[in-house]
């Protein structure tokens, strides 16, 4: 929970489950990584870039924002679209 690399780093460096602002798996800040919850490319990106499970506004699988992807929960084309566009399993 400081500022260095490691697993479960909640600060500002590279590592797995980084909750700050650097590259890593499960990055909840603003850099590339898997499960990025901020604003960069990665898997499970919850911000605004390309990735799997993107919850923001870019292309990816499980996009929860406003772009094309599988499991799109926003308003664009995709499989399992929960927003407002064409797709399989559209809930809108």
Q: Does pLDDT of 91 surpass 50? A: no
pLDDT digits (tens, 9 = 90+) for 66-82: 555 555 555 555 555 44
Residue located via tokens 């772009």: 67
pLDDT digits (tens, 9 = 90+) for 6-49: 545 545 545 545 555 555 555 555 555 555 555 555 555 555 54
Give residue 90's pLDDT band: very low, low, confident or very high (50, 70, 90): very low
């Amino acid at each position: 929970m400081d500022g260095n690399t490691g697993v479960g780093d909640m600060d500002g460096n590279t590592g797995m489950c980084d909750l700050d602002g650097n590259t890593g798996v499960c990055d909840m800040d603003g850099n590339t990584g898997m499960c990025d919850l901020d604003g960069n490319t990665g898997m499970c990106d919850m911000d605004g870039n390309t990735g799997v499970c993107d919850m923001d506004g870019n292309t990816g699988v499980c996009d929860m924002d406003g772009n094309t992807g599988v499991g799109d929960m926003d308003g664009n084309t995709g499989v399992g679209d929960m927003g407002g566009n064409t797709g399989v399993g559209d809930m809108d």
